[in-house]
Structure 1
């Protein structure tokens, strides 16, 4: 198979994952030049059918996490297909899977089996709750983890029901953590020539990702609770109403607060002992909020956004997703890239990492099921190119 360009060029990733966390991780690696072979069941990745919305009959969910990959459909219960899968794992530098812990052992594709034939393999397993006896049998759905981790207890109005986040936030986090783990293991392999097993689970990613909220309990013995849009440790740090809608205002230190009240025409508040320091403002937020709201209500959101931003205080309107993309474009981030050419071209969200010399590239639109199956099977059956990259570099 032709080698791609990029900082991860020359790496072969066998992607046995599906849905979101694993495919997101492997897409990030693929964008950076890794050759990713997406192994699907004959029925395909479930997200192919998760619609609406769709683009040209294909789920946009699937399109969002599968660019720059090749697809081969293999039935692991079939002897010939299973042999091809094992040969792919033998040649790969990285294998990513999110079966239930131990689920690939019956096919000879678990870490112990693969590493016996390919000791340089970096084998990444993503699960919901880890491989221990208490968690290995639990299905790993993001919504479950949002509930079990405590995130939903923090999301919503103080006197209302718990809410899920608007995206599968811990699937994405676990995918990011998996890609970090893979890169760390590859770096270590460069010194030792040996691979290792990288394990990531959604619950651990969730507890790490809850940052100050999980730390409040672990380090401080405080159980956080729902506060709506308020922050437990900062004020103002929430949406505040203007004449035509809400504006996010985030004065994270005393300097920013002073600039905020000056642009609002309330400079005396910066010297009021109730509001002099962050701890004071947080303790007296119920007294400070109406003073700010009264002044903000005199002008529109965008008028205040312009003037408060000019004063050096972070703030922003609450956009819809389309407005968020448009705003990113307006500040020069070029958030949308087109992958592929002609009728096959697919608009996609740009890779979030910018590298000055070896940037991400976007060569292949998300593949149709088994689009590259014949090519990959021929390559796996050939006697050439059998060595892994660690053997090639030796």
Structure 2
């Protein structure tokens, strides 16, 4: 089956998560993604544990379906090899600090001289412009600056970051989407372009309903723990053993919830008929629900409420989440062979009737494919001394 990006080549100079994960999605869609790093590597993510047979599990999660080459872009030889690769590529992705590639003489203006159709995606903390443009930006800093932490956590607790690098993760989706859009536009115009993606821009744009409430009404959302600022009941509740999440997001779902819990009278109680009524009497309603939920175990309530078509789910540990039947049935975890041995990866969630997304390459070790790529793309028959790869000189 022909993949949609089978004829696209991507040079991935990026590190950590946002840009590498975006490049990984392009690889999932069939692109030939080539990681480019200096000898010895530059991705600090490889230093972050835990490890499996010496390989960082953090690095593994963002780098499937790529090949790896090492080039010293500060050397004349390395720069020229890179420029030759640019001539044979469609996309360059990097997430160095603003101005780094210009100092190397490898910014978009220089690269498009060698390949006018090149699509160049730069991912930074704060973008190429503005008073913060030159500063480094990490996910937790962006979570703080975007307002996300201010609306996350318990009402009487401190602002709290999300437990995963959410700004990076959301940005990775925009990396892939913006590049696919640029490729489509190039199909129509024949021209490449420069893409300026900022983690802060993305995370602020992702504030969605919270931002809309402030912009249009002046409402400043508060930390509500596992409750919702605008909807109730829409939160975590404790059952007879484990907590569950219930989301009765409209009046109809609330009536279904009340019926399933054996209290249909709640659905016609003047305190609870509409969402506005329920918000005004939230404390009373939550107390009633908690008392009933405590009489049965979580598994029973999940079955009862699911049968009633009320959105509900047990609050799982990561082990329970990955081992639940729904994820296993949809092959959400895969086993691939790697130089370090068999490893487990989260599979791509892309499932199309006409698209076969699969892992062609395990996350590569540093420079694993250098010789292969130079010979394949540049026709190098004699390998030059100036390119050093782990365990070999090429």
**TM-score if structure 2 supplies the norm length?**
0.93
- Per-residue deviation at 1:342? 8.9
- The match for 2:379 among 375, 379, 382 is 382
- Per-residue deviation at 1:103? 1.1
Aligned twin of 1:81? 78
- The match for 1:48 among 46, 49, 52 is 46
- Per-residue deviation at 1:328? 5.4
Distance 1:92 1:47 in 2: 26
Aligned twin of 1:205? 202
Aligned twin of 1:182? 179
- The match for 1:271 among 265, 268, 271 is 268
Gaps of 5+ in 1: 385-394
1:199-224 residue CA offsets vs partner (Å, 9 max, x unmatched): 11101110111111111222222222
* CA spacing shift, 1:366–1:341, aligned 2, 3 Å: closer
Aligned twin of 2:123? 126
Distance 2:254 2:196 in 1: 43
* CA spacing shift, 1:306–1:6, aligned 2, 3 Å: same
Contact 2:237 2:246 (C-alpha < 8 Å) held by counterparts: yes
Aligned twin of 1:300? 297
- Per-residue deviation at 1:382? 2.6
Distance 1:79 1:100 in 2: 22
How do residues 223-234 of structure 1 correspond to structure 2 at under 5 angstroms?
Answer: 223-234=220-231
Distance 1:64 1:328 in 2: 22
Contact 1:86 1:108 (C-alpha < 8 Å) held by counterparts: no
- Per-residue deviation at 1:330? 5.5
1:29-50 residue CA offsets vs partner (Å, 9 max, x unmatched): 1011000000012231211111
1:296-328 residue CA offsets vs partner (Å, 9 max, x unmatched): 111111110110110100001100111111225
Q: CA RMSD in A?
A: 1.7
**TM-score if structure 1 supplies the norm length?**
0.93
Number of corresponding residues: 380
Aligned twin of 1:310? 307
1:327-384 residue CA offsets vs partner (Å, 9 max, x unmatched): 2545722111222379743221111111211221111111111001112223453399
Secondary structure, counterpart of 1:104 in structure 2: helix
- Per-residue deviation at 1:107? 2.0
* CA spacing shift, 1:148–1:342, aligned 2, 3 Å: closer
> Does the alignment pair 1:115 with 2:94?
no
Distance 1:331 1:84 in 2: 44
- The match for 2:103 among 103, 106, 125 is 106
Distance 1:343 1:75 in 2: 25
Distance 1:102 1:183 in 2: 25
Distance 1:260 1:56 in 2: 49
